[in-house]
């Protein structure tokens, strides 16, 4: 337990304490992280920060209170509609991030279907297994059923299998441009055709690609159309706080026509506090996030984004070639944008991830199949050689026998054994014990991922992970 602070403190001491607290955090300024922060360099970052601070206190909850913010949002949505080839009659809004954009797109699909089929109708969302968990979260929150379709051998959505899953309850199809786990672009044109044939809504999740893909052709890397240029696409999300380089808290959600956006709004007219209307999930909305998003798009413009895109794609491809040159490693799919998934046929790739993390390069573990995730940015351009040297070292270390690995094998063997012979209650206790042993975010997580893989068949991984999370967010962790 912490005590509520009794006395005031001096500002300098406080800020210094916070700076020191950062010692164990990811060192994104050095380019040694591959997710969470999209560092564009000091010039862009300081401009975005200045724009954010100009609107630090303003609140976009009431559009008539701060017309300057409202106009920046309208202006930016309109500029981005141009970027994503939205036709006349389009409508959109800024949200707090990719998750809110996706939650709203799914909520809109529900309301849209309920207008035709009645207020109790709960539809189905057809999505590739590579689609972001935010779609599952949305279905869970809003009472829709996710229908998950396996991806093909290139990790792309399978349009024929998606079409086969359509029934009278279907309301929304989903495609990613690109997907987060392997960085491949789903066949958007083929899915668009199916959406049109069946008169369904179709959301393109371009959260991570939204500020890369539109600039690829000019950067010298042509790609197939993925946005509103494709007939059948009815909504699209693009995170300005990823490769748009805005401050955290900014994503675009865009609809082909304004009627769809209206299905997103929430209005309550009987509140003693007044008539309440809000476009998205949040009430109070930080003015700074909107101002910074508007500012960075004006600051960079098309030429700036093309320059950033060109460097990012070139760096991604150089990383991919370098990784492939290590015999024990492979990449799961040829990166079509800025994401690389590293896997191995010979080694436990999670062991490589653990060693790489210890060498100062933390990267996220992925599953089904196991891999390590890299989202590449311009911050990585100067680091190719040092990364590859450490990756080779990590592979070498992962091949060695060690007490860590032996411990992991024993833990897994124990788990398999006890699963067979223990009562449900004892097994629960064992899992509880194991979850305390292997916190998420620890330096070594190969053991934990092994355990999760082992438990996946039982279908009770969710509870175990919720326990991990609860412990991580608690003050008195053991
Ligand atoms: C990041 C991401 C999201 C979720 O966005 P948040 O801003 O983290 O809420 C959704 N889809 C894809 C493909 C993403 O990369």
- Residues 445 and 438 sit within 8 Å (Cβ to Cβ): yes
How many angstroms does the Cα of residue 39 sit away from the middle of ligand 1? 17
Would you state the structure tokens that stand for residue 54, as one six-digit string? 């100009």
- Residue 182 to residues 132, 309, 379, Cα–Cα distance (Å): 12, 18, 20
Please give the pLDDT value at position 457.
Answer: 65
- Residue 373 to residues 179, 215, 279, 342, 349, Cα–Cα distance (Å): 12, 23, 34, 7, 11
Please give the pLDDT value at position 418.
Answer: 64
d(CA 172, CA 201): 5
Beta strand pairing call for 371-375 and 365-366: antiparallel
Cα dihedral 185, 183, 127, 139, rounded to 10, equals -130
- Residues 256 and 87 sit within 8 Å (Cβ to Cβ): yes
3-state helix, strand, coil in the chain (%, to 5): 50, 10, 40
Alpha-carbon Rg for the chain in angstroms: 24
Q: What one-character-per-residue DSSP string does 407-454 give?
A: HHHHHHHHHHHHHHHS-HHHHHHHHHHHHHHS-TTSS--HHHHHHHHH
d(CA 47, CA 36): 20
Please give the pLDDT value at position 239.
Answer: 98
Length of the chain: 478
Q: Which portions of the chain are predicted below pLDDT 70? A: 403-404, 411, 414-443, 456-459, 476-478
81-85, long-range: CB within 8 Å, 24+ apart, which pairs? 81/254, 83/214, 84/206, 84/210, 84/214, 84/227, 84/228, 84/236, 84/238, 84/254, 85/225, 85/227, 85/228, 85/229
* pLDDT single digits (tens) 162-195: 999 999 999 999 999 999 999 999 999 999 999 9
Would you state the structure tokens that stand for residue 353, as one six-digit string? 């991830």
Please give the pLDDT value at position 434.
Answer: 59
* pLDDT single digits (tens) 206-226: 999 999 999 999 999 999 999
Domain boundaries, the chain: 51-297, 403-472
* pLDDT single digits (tens) 95-151: 999 999 999 999 999 999 999 999 999 999 999 999 999 999 999 999 999 999 999
275-279, long-range: CB within 8 Å, 24+ apart, which pairs? 278/61, 279/93
Answering whether pTM is above 0.85, one says: yes
Ligand 1, residues 235, 239, 253: which to mutate, most atoms within 8 A of Cβ? 239
Q: Tell me, using a 6 A CB cutoff, whether residue 234 lines ligand 1.
A: no
How many angstroms does the Cα of residue 101 sit away from the middle of ligand 1? 9
Work out the burial of residue 64: count CB atoms within 10 Å of its CB; fewer than 13 is exposed, 13-18 middle, 19 or more buried.
exposed
- Residue 292 to residues 238, 242, 288, Cα–Cα distance (Å): 15, 13, 6
Would you state the structure tokens that stand for residue 92, as one six-digit string? 């959109």
Q: Tell me, using a 6 A CB cutoff, whether residue 132 lines ligand 1.
A: yes
The DSSP code for 15 is H
d(CA 107, CA 355): 42
d(CA 166, CA 168): 7
Please give the pLDDT value at position 105.
Answer: 98
Q: Tell me, using a 6 A CB cutoff, whether residue 208 lines ligand 1.
A: yes
The structural architecture, per CATH, of the domain 51-297 is: 3-Layer(aba) Sandwich (3.40)
The residue whose CA has the least distance to atom 10 of ligand 1 is 98
The residue whose CA has the least distance to atom 5 of ligand 1 is 98
Q: Tell me, using a 6 A CB cutoff, whether residue 180 lines ligand 1.
A: yes
Q: Tell me, using a 6 A CB cutoff, whether residue 97 lines ligand 1.
A: yes
Q: Tell me, using a 6 A CB cutoff, whether residue 239 lines ligand 1.
A: yes
Q: Which residues of 207-243 are buried (b: 16+ CB within 10 A; e: fewer)?
A: bbbbbbbbbbeebebebeebbbebebbbbbbbbbbbb
Please give the pLDDT value at position 24.
Answer: 85
How many angstroms does the Cα of residue 242 sit away from the middle of ligand 1? 9
97 Cα nearest atom in ligand 1: 7
The alpha helices in 211-286, defined as continuous H runs, are 216-219, 258-262
Q: Tell me, using a 6 A CB cutoff, whether residue 186 lines ligand 1.
A: no
């Amino acid at each position: 337990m912490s005590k509520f602070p009794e006395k005031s403190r001096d500002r300098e001491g406080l800020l210094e304490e916070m700076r020191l607290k950062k010692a164990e955090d990811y060192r994104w300024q050095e380019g040694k992280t591959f997710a969470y922060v999209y560092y564009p360099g000091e010039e862009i970052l300081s401009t975005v920060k200045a724009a954010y601070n100009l609107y630090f206190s303003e609140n976009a909850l009431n559009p008539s209170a701060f017309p300057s913010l409202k106009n920046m949002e309208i202006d930016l949505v309109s500029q981005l509609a141009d970027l994503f080839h939205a036709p006349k009659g389009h409508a959109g809004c800024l949200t707090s991030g990719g998750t809110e954009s996706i939650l709203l797109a799914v909520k809109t699909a529900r309301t849209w279907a309920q207008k035709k089929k009645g207020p109790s109708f709960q539809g189905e969302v057809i999505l590739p297994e590579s689609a972001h968990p935010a779609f599952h979260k949305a279905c869970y929150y809003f009472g829709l059923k996710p229908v998950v379709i396996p991806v093909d051998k290139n990790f792309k959505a399978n349009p024929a299998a998606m079409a086969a899953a359509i029934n009278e309850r279907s309301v929304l199809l989903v495609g990613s441009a690109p997907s987060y786990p392997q960085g491949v672009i789903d066949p958007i044109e083929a899915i668009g055709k199916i959406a049109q044939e069946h008169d369904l809504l179709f959301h393109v999740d371009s959260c991570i690609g939204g500020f890369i893909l539109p600039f690829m052709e000019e950067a010298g890397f042509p790609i197939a159309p993925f946005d509103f240029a494709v007939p059948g696409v009815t909504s699209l999300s693009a995170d300005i706080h990823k490769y748009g380089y805005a401050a955290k808290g900014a994503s675009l959600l865009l609809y082909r026509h304004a009627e769809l956006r209206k299905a997103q709004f929430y209005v309550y007219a009987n509140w003693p506090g007044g008539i309440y209307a809000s476009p998205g999930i949040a009430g109070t909305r930080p003015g700074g996030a909107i101002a910074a998003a508007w500012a960075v798009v004006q600051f960079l413009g098309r030429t700036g984004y093309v320059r950033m895109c060109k460097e990012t794609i070139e760096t991604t491809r150089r990383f991919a070639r370098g990784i492939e040159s290590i015999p024990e490693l492979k990449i799961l799919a040829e990166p079509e944008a800025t994401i690389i998934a590293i896997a191995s046929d010979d080694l436990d790739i999670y062991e490589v991830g653990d060693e790489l993390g210890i060498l100062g390069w933390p990267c996220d573990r992925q599953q089904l199949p196991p891999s390590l995730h890299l989202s590449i940015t311009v911050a990585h351009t100067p680091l190719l050689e040092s990364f590859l040297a450490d990756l080779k070292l990590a592979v070498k270390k992962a091949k060695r026998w060690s007490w860590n690995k032996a411990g992991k094998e024993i833990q897994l063997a124990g788990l398999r054994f006890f699963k067979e012979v223990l009562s449900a209650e004892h097994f629960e206790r064992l899992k509880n014990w194991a979850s305390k042993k292997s916190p998420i975010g620890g330096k070594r997580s190969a053991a934990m991922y092994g355990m999760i893989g082992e438990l996946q068949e039982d279908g009770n991984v969710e509870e175990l992970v919720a326990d991990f999370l609860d412990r991580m967010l608690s003050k008195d962790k053991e």
